Structure 1
Amino acid sequence: MGYEIDTRDGLARLRHAREVFLTERRLPEDLPAWLSAAWRRSCFAELDVTRDHVPEVPVPLETPLVRAATPVLAKLADDLVGLGAAVVLSDRHARVVGCWADEEAVGAHLARIDTRLGADLSERSTGTNGISHVLDTGGPVVVGGPAHIFELYQSTVCVGAPVTDPVTRKVSGAVAVVCELDAPARVLHALATTATGAIERELLHAASAHEHRLLEAYLRAGPGRYPIAVLDGRTRLVSDAAAGLLRPRDIETLESYAIEAARDGCLPTTELILDDGLKVRLRPALPGDSRGLLVVVEPPLRRPGRRSTRLTLFADAGLAGGSPAWRSLERSVARAGTRPLLLLGEPGVGKTGVARAALGDPVVLEAADEDGWLAEVADALAAPAVLLRHVERLARGRAARLAALLRAGHPAQVIATLTTGTESDCANVLRTEWSPVEILVPSLRERTADIPELAQRFGRGVHFTQDARSTLQRHDWPGNLVELKAVVAAAEAEAAGPTVSARHLPGRLRSSPAHPRLTELEKAERLAISDVLRTANGNRMRAAALLGIGRATLYRKLRRYGLE
């Protein structure tokens, strides 16, 4: 007997499993692994499953995805009349960028579940659903009723399918057919998949026509006379004069800006200074269309006192790393310029270091939930730069007063840091009332390519052998940079010499054999098991009970994930 939502018994079993999990944190062993992992992630993230609304975020509506999907999904909504179903389109961040409901009752259903333009349907916001799961896995799914951990969705079925960019082959969004629990979900699954295929064909057609328009824009810009380039992440048109000035990595950097501009519907900046001081001006290649960047290269001039978005921001501040996740973070911080920032991340990921790189020499204040602290903030705002650490410590009311203080006129550039997993209402208060640019600092396990360089930096001149570097890269680093520094210090002491090999590393790292490449869901499950083992002080019987699984199942997973 399974957990099918289209049978009475399956639905009852699923509903019971959810109730037991929410009250006792136990899960049946035969619950699908992806669903168990999703519920656990929501539990660890302390998702408020009883919240009666979905957070709203700003979304760009003039994007290639929306343009391609609108006629297809409008027709699909028309075809669904009589089936009691609505159509929802999300971008790759699980933000709703389109809703279609051609019946009054269907529109009322969307209103009940608070699904509208700008709704944030990411897993961190609403738990697993037919959109967040599709974006995580890249495959279609049916999530119905009590499979949702979020209370608001208990009478809803969400049939989701991915939209894949036909050129880059990356998932660019998701289509979901949303209906009541008693609707024919399996039939709707086929309709959703057919619709995504039609959207992908529209994207391909638009891309072909778009390339011709880019070529025309390039020729009009005068490639024979000026150092110019036209880029969109797919098409690369570079004049001879520009090719003599731009290095391959410069082109890659500029293409990343072009891709982000197309995705977000606007240019992140209009002027950029590259690593070697070369200045470029950026503007849309096509009027009224963010898909394509015209780059004009200028001599490497600097204006005194002007803040640039040069991409050596972290290196200049002594921060090590060159992984894609780290470079992406650097670009995000550079694009933010002097706007207020909220840096989020796990404990120990280096939020303070990133903030100092952006601010230079700021006044640093540790958040304290007391009135005197706000007076300190008011005084500090007379300085050029202010760093507020651990704002998650603030109660809701004090966070609101801080937001009002930060909104008032002052000369300071302000960055606040917030540790994820400890968020309270104050985080939402700051987001809505202060409106900073939010940037997530990646965890160390998301930038494993940087670990050898970081270890070398922390190691004060010792050399790490290849086996030591490989062992360090296999570890999950729940303590992030703080844990890595401690491990390097312990290994140095153990080696008592200039060379550190794997045998000098702590046993808990050496005993973790290389495990196969994991899916995102498997990574989440491995992390959850590792966390519970630490909570249980290594007691496997207690860990199995905390996880709600049998000991035999736990032992299998420990072997599978290299946690023995």
Structure 2
Amino acid sequence: MGYEIDTRDGVARLRHARELFLTERRLPDDLPPWLSAAWRRSRFAGLDVTRDHVPAVPVPLETPLVRAATPVLAKLAGDLVGLGAAVVLSDGHARVVGCWADEEAVGAHLARIDTRLGADLSEPSTGTNGISHVLDTGGPFVLGGPEHLFELYQNTVCAGAPVTDPVTRKILGAVAVVCELDAPLRVLHAITTTATGAIERELVHATSAHEHRLLQAYLRAGPARNPIAVLDGRTRLVSAAAAGLLRPQDIDTLESYAIEAAREGALPTTELVFDDGVKVHLHPAVPGDSAGVLIVVDPPPPSAERRRARLSLFADAALSGSSPAWRSLERSVARVRTRPMLLLGEPGVGKADVARAVLGDPLVLDAADDDTWLAEVQEALAQPAVLLRHVERLHRSRAARLATLLAGEHPARVIATFTTGTGSVCADVLRTGWSPVEILVPGLRERTADIPELARRFGGVHLTQDAQTTLQRHDWPGNLAELKAVMASAAAEAAGPTVSARHLPGRLRSSAAHPRLTELEKAERQAISDALLTANGNRVQAATLLGIGRATLYRKMRRYGLD
């Protein structure tokens, strides 16, 4: 027997498993892996499952999502009269931005589970639920009764589906049909997916209106006389004066901030200074709408030369960038640069180069899982600066001995690098025994705005616009190492100072023809790749690890080019 919520036996087994987990911290071996993982996350996060209310936060209600969804979901709530179901809309952070219930009993059910405008349904707040799970996985899902760890939801079923931006393909929020546990689940699933499709069509119609508002904001700012730009991640309106002050990579960076503002619902900053001293001010292009940023550029003084406003910490490492992810890294490192660090990141992101930029000219030791290497480390700690690379190679016992050495008295400034996705326990051991500051070095796919400049630097060539676009649409699983190899090949292929898209490898041109993956899609692709690696390529075992069916795994592998 399984753990299906649409059968009496399944619900009974789920209730027993939940009780076992809450009282004895044990889980049945055959509980679906995704549910086991969700319950464990809630336990580690300290979720109070007995809390009788759901935290609420202020939420913006005048957003493109709410405007597009309101007529669709209001009609849907009316159509559901007699089914005992309510309709709930969340934003991309799992915060409720709309509730519709056309029956008194349904409204009472929403009140019992404390679902109202602003309710925070994120997993840290209420455990996994039909909205948080949909936003985490990016696909429709039905979740009900004792699948919830949260006590308030034990008699509730929630069928959710994501709402996706029709242009950027980013997930904007989720629609959920909420009712009592004995509802017809297949019907609910069909209803939600139909509703999200209708909302996405409304968003398509609204796109042209949004672009019109951006154009009006641009014209009001006076582009003929002022250095201004309006960006939203899709639309670029840049005045001639602004184009003369901003470099192409500056505009790419500002576009990254505009995309982040649309995703987070607020500007990440209101002022930015580029490396050459040009200062820009960021404002919402349309009041009350975070999807669009008005950029006002401060011209440099007429008599002063444009100069660097600050020296990038990594300027000499050939890694410097201006994307939000890279600037965040610079700030993190600058705050703790005199303390021991553990730099984490994927292969090829430049962890060692970052460490060298911080330490200057360190003594470098590549980790080896033997006692001789530990003796070398002990001797090296007499030096002023030490870089320990690839500590993920160490087994638990030697990692513990390394932590003891590093935590002892010595004059060295130490930075260690750890490659993520290797399954190594070394990082946990070092956290406990050494307590370094942990900093994640971002992957190249998180630094889209930096890619053209890095490519020009690595290849020593000029890039055409189609080459830049092709490079920025690639996901770069090999990160900086892959980009260096691609640019070396492209420069040789071009046999001249200019590289265009036709000089790039065919696999990059092929990927550029497809829509860029959303952050959730990238995370899903990585999770599937990791599961296949763990399962040594066994697809049946990988599907089990992921908690999905084999057919679903095969379909997603084809979609992400993993087959």
Q: TM-score, normalised by structure 2?
A: 0.61
Partner of 2:218: 218
What SS class does the counterpart of residue 35 from structure 1 fall into? helix
1:381-530 equivalence runs, <5 A: 444=344, 449=349, 451-456=351-356, 461-462=361-362, 492=380, 506-507=394-395
- The superposition leaves residues 143-172 of structure 1 with CA deviations (integer Å, 9 ceiling, x where unpaired) of 110000111110000111111111111111
- The superposition leaves residues 105-136 of structure 1 with CA deviations (integer Å, 9 ceiling, x where unpaired) of 11111111111111111111111001111111
AA matched with 1:17: A
What's the offset of the Cα at 1:229?
1.3
1:182-221 equivalence runs, <5 A: 182-219=182-219, 221=221
Say which is worse superposed, 161-170 or 239-248, in terms of deviation.
Answer: 239-248
CA 1:226–1:156 in 2, change beyond 3 Å: closer, same or farther?
same
- Matched positions, count: 405
What's the offset of the Cα at 1:281?
3.4
Determine the C-alpha separation between the residues in 2 that align with 1:443 and 1:152: 41
Determine the C-alpha separation between the residues in 2 that align with 1:220 and 1:487: 68
Partner of 2:38: 38
Find out whether 1:75 has 2:82 as its counterpart: no
Work out whether residues 253 and 322 of structure 2, in 8 Å CA contact, stay in contact via their aligned partners in 1. no
Determine the C-alpha separation between the residues in 1 that align with 2:2 and 2:356: 51
Partner of 2:14: 14
CA 1:163–1:494 in 2, change beyond 3 Å: closer, same or farther?
farther
Determine the C-alpha separation between the residues in 2 that align with 1:527 and 1:51: 36
Say which is worse superposed, 207-216 or 283-292, in terms of deviation.
Answer: 283-292
- The superposition leaves residues 320-356 of structure 1 with CA deviations (integer Å, 9 ceiling, x where unpaired) of 997978447579x9xxxxxxxxxxxxxxx989749x9
CA 1:453–1:497 in 2, change beyond 3 Å: closer, same or farther?
closer
Gaps of 5+ in 1: 302-309, 334-348, 357-441, 473-485, 536-555
Work out whether residues 227 and 239 of structure 2, in 8 Å CA contact, stay in contact via their aligned partners in 1. yes
What's the offset of the Cα at 1:37?
0.6
More RCO (CA 8 Å, sep 6+): 1
What SS class does the counterpart of residue 194 from structure 1 fall into? helix
Determine the C-alpha separation between the residues in 1 that align with 2:163 and 2:397: 40
AA matched with 2:68: A
Say which is worse superposed, 453-462 or 53-62, in terms of deviation.
Answer: 453-462
Partner of 2:163: 163
Determine the C-alpha separation between the residues in 2 that align with 1:149 and 1:134: 16
Work out whether residues 158 and 178 of structure 1, in 8 Å CA contact, stay in contact via their aligned partners in 2. yes
AA matched with 2:70: T
CA 1:130–1:284 in 2, change beyond 3 Å: closer, same or farther?
same
Q: TM-score, normalised by structure 1?
A: 0.61
What's the offset of the Cα at 1:278?
1.3
- The superposition leaves residues 456-479 of structure 1 with CA deviations (integer Å, 9 ceiling, x where unpaired) of 3565523759xx59x99xxxxxxx
Work out whether residues 313 and 357 of structure 2, in 8 Å CA contact, stay in contact via their aligned partners in 1. no
- The superposition leaves residues 44-81 of structure 1 with CA deviations (integer Å, 9 ceiling, x where unpaired) of 11211111111112211111111111111111111111
Determine the C-alpha separation between the residues in 2 that align with 1:59 and 1:39: 27
Say which is worse superposed, 200-209 or 184-193, in terms of deviation.
Answer: 200-209
Determine the C-alpha separation between the residues in 2 that align with 1:327 and 1:43: 33
- The superposition leaves residues 500-534 of structure 1 with CA deviations (integer Å, 9 ceiling, x where unpaired) of 665996445999xxxx998xxxx9xx7999979x9
AA matched with 1:456: R
Gaps of 5+ in 2: 302-308, 400-418, 433-530, 538-563
Determine the C-alpha separation between the residues in 1 that align with 2:80 and 2:375: 58
Work out whether residues 321 and 327 of structure 2, in 8 Å CA contact, stay in contact via their aligned partners in 1. no
CA RMSD of aligned residues (A): 4.8
Partner of 1:293: 293
- Give identity over the alignment, percent: 68
CA 1:487–1:92 in 2, change beyond 3 Å: closer, same or farther?
farther
AA matched with 2:195: A
Work out whether residues 495 and 504 of structure 1, in 8 Å CA contact, stay in contact via their aligned partners in 2. no
AA matched with 1:70: T
What SS class does the counterpart of residue 245 from structure 2 fall into? coil
AA matched with 2:245: L
What SS class does the counterpart of residue 139 from structure 1 fall into? coil
Partner of 2:103: 103
Work out whether residues 145 and 157 of structure 1, in 8 Å CA contact, stay in contact via their aligned partners in 2. yes
1:329-408 equivalence runs, <5 A: 329=328, 353=336
Work out whether residues 345 and 420 of structure 2, in 8 Å CA contact, stay in contact via their aligned partners in 1. no
CA 1:172–1:351 in 2, change beyond 3 Å: closer, same or farther?
farther
- The superposition leaves residues 199-250 of structure 1 with CA deviations (integer Å, 9 ceiling, x where unpaired) of 1111122112322343344345443443221111110122232122112332
Find out whether 1:236 has 2:236 as its counterpart: yes
What's the offset of the Cα at 1:30?
1.5
CA 1:288–1:128 in 2, change beyond 3 Å: closer, same or farther?
closer
AA matched with 1:136: D
Find out whether 1:275 has 2:275 as its counterpart: yes
Determine the C-alpha separation between the residues in 1 that align with 2:290 and 2:172: 16
Work out whether residues 130 and 160 of structure 1, in 8 Å CA contact, stay in contact via their aligned partners in 2. yes
